[in-house]
Structure formats: structure tokens, C-alpha cells
Structure 1
Amino acid sequence: MLASNGWRLEIKEKFDMNILIADDHELFLEGLKLVLKSHFNEANITAVKNYPELFEELKNNHFDLIMTDLAMPGANSMDALSKMHTLLKDTPIIVVSAVFDKEIVQKTIEIGVSGYIPKSSSNDLMLSAIHLVLAGGVYIPKELLDEASIAPEMMPDFQSLKEISAPQPPQSKDKKLTPRQIDVIRGIAKGLPNKLIAYELGLTEGTVKVHMTVILKTLGVSNRTAAVIEAVKKGYISKQEAGL
């Protein structure tokens, strides 16, 4: 599937995860559910129409990703986002809204939201933004970044966003590396640069960089050498593979 800006998004995610979507407009809600289900084809998707229903679901079930509208019945939107962030801790929250205002975007990011997607976005852009968020990034529309006074450390790497083709599922509480991340670690253990790892795995260099960021965070290390050593300690790769 070719996005309108010329880069490709072809991978259908096959991992199992729970997604909660919330919007008080049923037509949009059902459309969003169909788009997500067609791409994340083994995901369990729960749809609700207001904040009380959303918090009831959060009370009774675990979710790996939350996608919510802002203006819904039952609560003040910013109060609701703040409460969600407090309850969910490490679970990413993405706002999908028709509101396109820099001050509102800034406020949601300050609260702890991981992404802000305008409802006018294309399906490809939305899915790629989700990928970036699941890989540990923050997505904000470029148009709003140009205007908003958002701190640089909050800004997403748009080049990496464009190059993501196989991002990873949300990290579980025990923070396991995925099979693809282990493949990247093996390449690092061979002493290969990102470009050659990408070539061997059939990825782009930008995708490998995203994987590397998640690997370092998951293993709790700050460089490639330490990542290889930690991967051996945790049994992801053998000493022989690591050249130890």
C-alpha cells in the first residue's frame, strides 16, 4: 500500500494486542475499527462511545494501546486524559481529534499523550503514527510542530516515521525483545553497521534505528556493546554469536 507522500507501508501486524478506541460518533468509530482490524489483523479491538464507558473498560481490562477522541460526553477532556495517563502509566494514549489547535496539542503532550492524530489524516499516515508510538516515539502533526512551542525532546523523528516498515508491538511488563529485535542484536554482535543490518534483514536503515532505540531501552543500556553483552546475559543470543 503506497502512502500519498511516496513512502510505503506494507506490513500487516500479526501480533496479538488489545486496543481500546473511543469516539462518540458511531460512523467514525466503526470506520476506525475497520481500518485497525484490517492492519492489525490479530488485535482485539474494543469500541466505546463516551468517557464513562472508557473508564469502565480500563477498570476491568488491560489494553496495549488507547485511541480516543477529545470531545466526548461524560468528562472534561483534559481531566480525562490526565486520569487515563495516571491509571495507565506505560500504556500509550493517542488522541484522534477533529480539533487542530496548537495550544490543545501542547496541553495533551504535557499531560503525557503519546500521539495526536487529526481526523483529516489519511489511513496510511494514521497507521504510521501508531507504529511510531508503539516503537516508543511521540507523534505530532508536522503542521503543528512548525507552529507550536513544543520542547525539542518531545518532537518525533519524522525521518524515522517515514522509514518505519515493521515496527514492534507494545512492550510487555517484563520487557521482552521481539524476534526482529533479536535479529538486529545478532547483526550488532557481528559488528555490522545499521546499513548492513538493514540490508541483511530486508529493512530500511531508519527501521533498524527505531529497533535499536527500543532495544537499548528494553535492555536498560546506553550503547551497542552493552546491548550485546546484556542480550547474552538474558539468553537472547549465545556467547558464540556475540564472539565472547
Structure 2
Amino acid sequence: MRILLIDDHALFREGVAMLLKPLVDGLQTWEAGSCEEAFEVLAQRGSVDLVLIDLGLPGLSGLEGLKRLRADHPDAPVVVMSSADDKDTVLAVLDAGAMGFIPKSSTSQVMLGALRLILAKGIYLPPSVFLAARAAPAASPAPAPATAVVAASGRQPADLGMTPRQADVLHLLLQGKPAKLIGRQLNLSLSTVKAHTSAVLRALNVTTRTQAVLAASRMGLRFEEPVAAQGSSDSSMASSKR
């Protein structure tokens, strides 16, 4: 597994790299002090399995870098680690396609738990973002403390009445992937992707992707890795359910 750390403080990068060692066997950590340097690293070394990025970076901002990463490397989940952890900032990075947000004030235990959750196809957000949050009207109970959120076994999309293909669409939607890319990856027509998207948003009782991320995090949703549809039958079946 390869993880790219983007932060302008070398000491912080070195500390995080040390903390990440127990995450998985054979872990490789690449480091960059700016978005520009990160793009050079990716161009030279190839793809990564996870990107950790700060927001307060010299040159191109972390938020703009996040948007470019999602556009140029849509298969790599991006997680923001920042000291600016107010609700507006968290929602902004979710809008830009982040799969999680870890405050720099978090303990190493919370950070590792959050990353394990994200690598297990879950989503991690700090519980503070849910306090008085009005963005996601899903009727879920208030979140548990951070350690409990990370450790939660989670629910499956099927528990909310979603079909396996709807769960696949939701999983990719939560990663910030556009409908056309989701359709190509799952071998579905654009109209079918849109139909599935409408269905999963209704199941979560939300209307936007950002609200869906909040709801999925609050519920502790876990996903299987999406697989491409076999031929056109899946697309036809999905269309018949619209």
C-alpha cells in the first residue's frame, strides 16, 4: 500500500509516517511539502492508494489541490488532516470530494482508527461536525464519541433497503466521482446511474452528495468493493426498477 502525505511541515510528515507504520504490512509513505510537489511525485512514481493532505499549504491551497486530485486521480481516496476543523471547513472539503476529515488535534489512536475505517470503505468525520448540523436531515441518532464512531461495526446499505448495485453507486458517489465515471466503472448507462443516485439519496433521506457523506458517516455505513456489471443485464435490471 502507498500513502502520499502532503504537508508543509517536515516534522509533522515524519511523525505521521511513523504513526502509519502499524496500519498495514509493507506500507510505503511518500511525502510532499506542497501540492505542486505532490503532483510531481505522482507523475514520477505513479498512483497511490490514499492521500492525506493539509489545507494550509504554500502555493496552491490544500482545497484547490484536493479538487485537482479528485479530477486527475479519481480512484485515490483523499483525506484531509487540518487544524481548521470548523463545520464550514469540513463541509467545504466534503463538497470538493474528500472521503474523510481528521483534525490535527486528534490522538494517534483516533487517527489510525479513522484511516482503518476509510480503507475499509467507510467514511470518517469528527463528531463535532454533527453538532447542531442542519445539512443532513437523515433521522439518525446523535453520534457517539470519536473513538466509538471509529470502532463502530457499521451498517450495510442493504439495511436501508438498497440493492447491491445501488450500494455500488453510493460508494462511488461518496468518493466524489461524477455520474459519467461511475457509469464507466460499473458499466451502467448515465440514466441508470442517475436513477440509482436518486434512489440512494431517498434511502438516506438527503438531497446532495455532501449530505449523503454526513449521513453515511453518522450511520457508520460499510461497503463492499464495487464490481463492474456483467454485460448489459445489470443496466437493464436497474432501469426496470426506476
Contact 1:160–1:210 (8 Å) recurs in 2: no
Equivalent position amino acid for 2:83 in 1: A
- How far residue 78 of structure 1 moved from its aligned partner, in angstroms, is 2.0
Contact 1:106–1:148 (8 Å) recurs in 2: no
Does 2:86 correspond to 1:97?
Answer: no
1:210–1:78 distance in 2 versus 1, CA, 3 Å: closer
Q: Deviations over 1:102-152 (max 9, x none)?
A: 111101001110010001101111111111211222211001122444436
Mapped to 2, the partners of 1:122 and 1:220 lie a distance apart of 41
- How far residue 40 of structure 1 moved from its aligned partner, in angstroms, is 2.5
Q: Which has the higher contact order (CA 8 A, sep 6+)?
A: 2
Contact 2:3–2:50 (8 Å) recurs in 1: yes
Secondary structure at the counterpart of residue 94 of structure 2 = helix
Partner of 1:21 in structure 2?
A: 5
Partner of 1:51 in structure 2?
A: 35
Matches within 5 A, 1:1-244: 17-60=1-44, 61-151=46-136, 161-163=150-152, 213-214=223-224, 217-218=226-227
Mapped to 1, the partners of 2:78 and 2:137 lie a distance apart of 20
For structure 1, the 5+ residue unaligned runs are 1-16, 165-173, 176-208, 222-244
Q: Deviations over 1:190-210 (max 9, x none)?
A: xxxxxxxxxxxxxxxxxxx97
Q: Deviations over 1:83-115 (max 9, x none)?
A: 111111121100011112111110100111001
- Calculate the TM-score normalised by the size of structure 2: 0.58
Mapped to 2, the partners of 1:220 and 1:130 lie a distance apart of 29
Equivalent position amino acid for 2:64 in 1: D
- Calculate the TM-score normalised by the size of structure 1: 0.58
Contact 1:23–1:48 (8 Å) recurs in 2: yes
- How far residue 220 of structure 1 moved from its aligned partner, in angstroms, is 6.2
Contact 1:114–1:133 (8 Å) recurs in 2: yes
Coordinate RMSD, CA, aligned: 3.2
1:76–1:39 distance in 2 versus 1, CA, 3 Å: closer
For structure 2, the 5+ residue unaligned runs are 154-184, 187-219, 231-242
Larger radius of gyration: 1
Q: Deviations over 1:71-92 (max 9, x none)?
A: 1112133221111111111211
1:66–1:152 distance in 2 versus 1, CA, 3 Å: farther
